[in-house]
Structure 1
Amino acid sequence: MTAHTADSQPITDPHHSRRWIILALTLIAQFMVTLDATIVTVALPSIQTDLGFANQLDLQWVINAYVLFFGGFLLLGGRAGDLFGRQRLFLTGLVLFTGASLVNGIADDPTTLVIGRGVQGFGAALVSPAVLSIIIVTFQSTAERVKALGFFTAVTASGSAAGMLFGGLLTDYASWRWIFLVNIPIGLVGIVGAIRTIPNSKAMTGNVRHMDLPGAISVTGGLTVLVTAIVNAQTWGWGSARFIWMTVAAAALLTAFVVIELRTSHPLVRMGLFAKRTISVGNAMMLTFSGGLFVMMFFPTLYLAENMGYSPIEIGLAYLPWPVAMMIAGSVGQRLIGKAGPRLLLTVGLIFVAVGLLTFVRLPAYGSYAADVLPGMFLTAVGAGLVFTPAFMVATTGVAPEESGLASGIINTSQQLGAALGLAVTSSLAAGYTAHLLAGTGARDLTAAMQSSALVEGFQRGFTVAAAIVLASALIAAFGLRKADFAQNSAGADGDVQDAEQPLPAAPAV
């Protein structure tokens, strides 16, 4: 007996009988990739001290290098798996991710670490879509596929929470280097297991292989140049020739990306998709939402370490309520979608996030975790939990089945790239304002209290801008969506639709 999928090579009995082993291997890799998105957060202050990062602007590249390359090559990774084989893509991604983890673990300067983080992000961009594709083509029956995807969702959700805790434990009791080195044995198990058990299934496209590599390079290059310009703007000057030329170069690369996508026969992103309101509104909303929310992975960490003197394990425990509250709110939100509708749920959730960010605007130089950090953490987590599911639903509504994977990939890309741009803007503005406050103070006159106060005022400026960005996202949701956008899909949640190969979105990075 041979099982088939709609667009894949047949899965034969020998492979089918090992399907739960295959699931375990892919979920181990998914857990590692998801864990790495948050495990580094807690270690940032230790990394800054040990490797000599000059300031928080340079330090944010430890996060942004990963996010930029992950988001920039995510769609290419999904396409590569269909064309060259999912096992091959999975192995390539794991090898890159594991090798980069080793480099990061032994890095002795900021440049090496940032480059290694970029390679890790590229590896994650290959692993993440391969994991979901392998699960979908391995499990043929509706019941088993739903069960397998349930495990996938649980692992991706728990990975973020575990990253906070493990990051603190490893950094406190070993070294920040072990947040990367711990990936090596996990990656090796995944590589060996994949070679022995996972078939190299691929889409049935004959001998024609089309890879939009120019599109992937132009969009990732354009965004990297833009982020670099924003990060350095307060040093160069927002009106400086260097900033202007970097911005022009970024615009040229991003324009080239659009031209490439419009002209190539097999684009990375079919631009015609954005003619549909739910696609364009959903991605604009996700871009701005992620751009504001992602400061929660950066500013609170520095505040807890530098102003409140928290150790890495204390930071990890302090962050733990955030992913937990997000998961609980997400579960509640899934139950409310049918009653409240996506637009109302999105608007309310985004307002929660904005209010949560605004609570940090009154952050004192030496505050209390319970009074000054936890309320904003809780509100942003609840709001984000309410937003993620309907946001992904909106961005894939009304899409033809054969393009559902593309739509899902685009919204994930918007999430990652929005996070990178938002963190670049807010950290640059925060650091610039702190520098401005300290500019008239001589080195001899500068006290620890003055430095802490200026640092927090910079954070406050960053949180204010982040809240404004999220409020813009709420306006996009409230006025950009219509009830009619979802009416056509209300009857489509039965039978064949549930069994269709429509990939779930990858786990959010935050």
Structure 2
Amino acid sequence: MKTPSYGPALTALAASQFVVIMGTSIVNVALPAVQEGIGLADSGMSWVVNAYGLAFGALLLIGGRVADLLGRRRLLLGGLALCTVSSLAAGLATEPWSLLTARALQGVGAAAAAPASLALLLHLFPPGPGRGRALGVWGAVSGAGGAAGVVIGGLLTESWGWPSIFHVSAAGTLLALVATVLLVDAGPADARAGGRLDLTGTLTMSLGLTTLIYGLTAASDFGWSSWPVLASLAAGAVLLTSFGIIESRHPAPLLPPRLLAQGLVTPTNLIMALFGAIWLGMFFFLPVYQQRVLGAGPLETGLSQLPLAATNIAGSVLAPRLARRFGPYVTLGASLGALAAGLLWLGRISADGGYVGNLLGPVVVIGLGSGIAFVQLTGLAVTGVRPADTGLASGLVNATRQLGSTVGLALLTTLAASATASSHGDPAETLTDGYRAAFLVCGAVVTLTALAVPLLARRVRRQAAAAATTTDRTDTARTAPKFPQPAAR
């Protein structure tokens, strides 16, 4: 029997992932222009990114669950349609509230599309070399989408103004929608699972994350001891604790405990959260540093990200080969080590530096390391998961990366603002001190994460040993001689 070819379907699914990731990064270069054009405060500038990221991350879990329950292809199409409409609305916005609302709706659409497309890919490509190659493509287009967003954002902002970035995003998601309709068939990969939605848990988690991230972001404006910050952090903690209690008692929880116990779901998602925080933080601070300190224009800033894009794609393509040769854990640890080295290198930026001297070397190392790490973490996070939980697992790994990005960006912007406020010198030097502090903290966090990777391999060995012991006991019970039992008196 001839194995069916899923190349066209992979192309459409990769296109959907590309436009989702591009929607995250395309605004970064345009942030100074958006701030000036629509009248945003400095704190509001980070919310142009966080409004998207918060909705995206908070709803990814339910997106994965709905994909399993209602059909992955159906949810993917709905998510892409919402991204298209909300992108158009963002481009037409004339007030801060309307822009931030449209960005949040973009995040809702992305939260539906991202886990559905990854779940479809995992069903089309079962474990083996084919899945490894498919995940390599997935990682490559994810990296390309992030970097292309910066390049395209710079070109459009300088040529036609910041609203054009959202119009192009709308066109891209519309094309991905058409490609999905034509190339991805509804079939076994789109099968539905049983169960029902945990709406109470979803609402509690979403409100908890929103208030928590608002408190982290507002700290840069009001201070950590101010009542708005303390109240938001306390409300977030109460709501997220309530979410944990609700999940433990719900018959069909949004995040079933069984999922966290499968394979390497828990540890790899924790690492993915840290990875997301570092990745978005770098994409946020690097373009702002180039424009505010080095005086680069949007187009120059965007084009300067091409080496980062190229090495990120190369790392994603090489990741499956490296994993086959050196093992997934050695490959993951080395890639995180490279990412940490590049970030610590960025911690040496100066106010009077230049792109070649300060940035080119670090971004090449960061691109290569992050491309490999993303593919490895995505693959490990869904390895050993039951087929019925694939959509949920893919939603979880996307959610942890996006939530890590949002929480991390809130913390890093507050850290950078504090370092800038305590610095003495001209404006360019004080801004550089803030960005430098953010990069150094990112590098230190990734270094500690890389050192923890051997624990993953140890966990796998323990699971394998436990499974082998269980199998031996079962085989012994099956092959043991059966003796007649004495008759009851």
- With structure 2 as the length reference, what TM-score do the two structures score? 0.84
Q: Deviations over 1:161-213 (max 9, x none)?
A: 332322222111111111101233444555567678876665345xx651122
- Of 453, 459, 469, 2:445 maps to 469
Distance 2:355 2:399 in 1: 33
Between 297-306 and 466-475, the greater mean CA deviation after superposition: 466-475
Find the counterpart in structure 1 of residue 220 from structure 2: 234
Distance 1:198 1:381 in 2: 31
Find the counterpart in structure 2 of residue 63 from structure 1: 49
Q: 2:293 aligned with 1:317, yes or no? A: no
Q: How does 1:259-274 map to 2 (within 5 A)?
A: 259-274=245-260
Q: How does 1:486-505 map to 2 (within 5 A)?
A: 488=464
Q: 2:421 aligned with 1:435, yes or no? A: yes
- Of 399, 412, 415, 1:426 maps to 412
Find the counterpart in structure 1 of residue 325 from structure 2: 339
Distance 1:486 1:172 in 2: 55
Measured at CA, do residues 144 and 324 of structure 1 come closer, stay the same or move farther in structure 2, by a change above 3 Å? closer
SS in 2 for 1:309: coil
Find the counterpart in structure 2 of residue 171 from structure 1: 157
1:137, CA displacement in angstroms? 6.7
Measured at CA, do residues 339 and 133 of structure 1 come closer, stay the same or move farther in structure 2, by a change above 3 Å? closer
Q: How many residues align?
A: 463
- With structure 1 as the length reference, what TM-score do the two structures score? 0.80
Q: Deviations over 1:326-353 (max 9, x none)?
A: 2212333322223333333222222222
Measured at CA, do residues 399 and 143 of structure 1 come closer, stay the same or move farther in structure 2, by a change above 3 Å? closer
Decide whether the 8 Å contact of 1:285 with 1:474 is kept in 2.
Answer: no
- Of 259, 265, 278, 2:264 maps to 278
1:301, CA displacement in angstroms? 0.6
Find the counterpart in structure 1 of residue 204 from structure 2: 218
Aligned-pair Cα RMSD in Å: 3.4
Q: Deviations over 1:446-472 (max 9, x none)?
A: xxx711111111111212222222223
- Of 9, 24, 30, 1:37 maps to 24
Decide whether the 8 Å contact of 1:105 with 1:180 is kept in 2.
Answer: yes
1:70, CA displacement in angstroms? 1.4
SS in 2 for 1:80: helix
Decide whether the 8 Å contact of 1:325 with 1:381 is kept in 2.
Answer: yes
Percent identity among equivalent residues?
A: 35
Q: How does 1:131-150 map to 2 (within 5 A)?
A: 131-133=117-119
Gaps of 5+ in 2: 466-489
Decide whether the 8 Å contact of 1:293 with 1:353 is kept in 2.
Answer: no
Measured at CA, do residues 143 and 255 of structure 1 come closer, stay the same or move farther in structure 2, by a change above 3 Å? closer
Measured at CA, do residues 60 and 20 of structure 1 come closer, stay the same or move farther in structure 2, by a change above 3 Å? same
Decide whether the 8 Å contact of 1:286 with 1:473 is kept in 2.
Answer: no
1:424, CA displacement in angstroms? 0.8
Between 36-45 and 301-310, the greater mean CA deviation after superposition: 36-45
Decide whether the 8 Å contact of 2:136 with 2:316 is kept in 1.
Answer: no
SS in 2 for 1:182: helix
1:360, CA displacement in angstroms? 2.3
SS in 2 for 1:298: helix
Distance 1:348 1:24 in 2: 29
Distance 2:180 2:242 in 1: 37
Distance 1:273 1:194 in 2: 29
SS in 2 for 1:289: helix
Q: How does 1:37-116 map to 2 (within 5 A)?
A: 37-55=24-42, 57-116=43-102
Gaps of 5+ in 1: 4-15, 439-448, 490-510
Distance 2:304 2:185 in 1: 42
Q: How does 1:192-203 map to 2 (within 5 A)?
A: 202-203=190-191
Residue type matched to 1:465 in 2?
Answer: V
Measured at CA, do residues 487 and 339 of structure 1 come closer, stay the same or move farther in structure 2, by a change above 3 Å? farther
Residue type matched to 1:48 in 2?
Answer: Q
Decide whether the 8 Å contact of 1:164 with 1:320 is kept in 2.
Answer: no
1:400, CA displacement in angstroms? 3.2
1:232, CA displacement in angstroms? 1.4
Distance 2:220 2:123 in 1: 49
Decide whether the 8 Å contact of 1:291 with 1:469 is kept in 2.
Answer: no
Distance 2:308 2:201 in 1: 36
Residue type matched to 1:114 in 2?
Answer: L
Distance 1:149 1:355 in 2: 25
- Of 89, 100, 120, 2:106 maps to 120
Measured at CA, do residues 388 and 484 of structure 1 come closer, stay the same or move farther in structure 2, by a change above 3 Å? same
Residue type matched to 2:83 in 1?
Answer: F
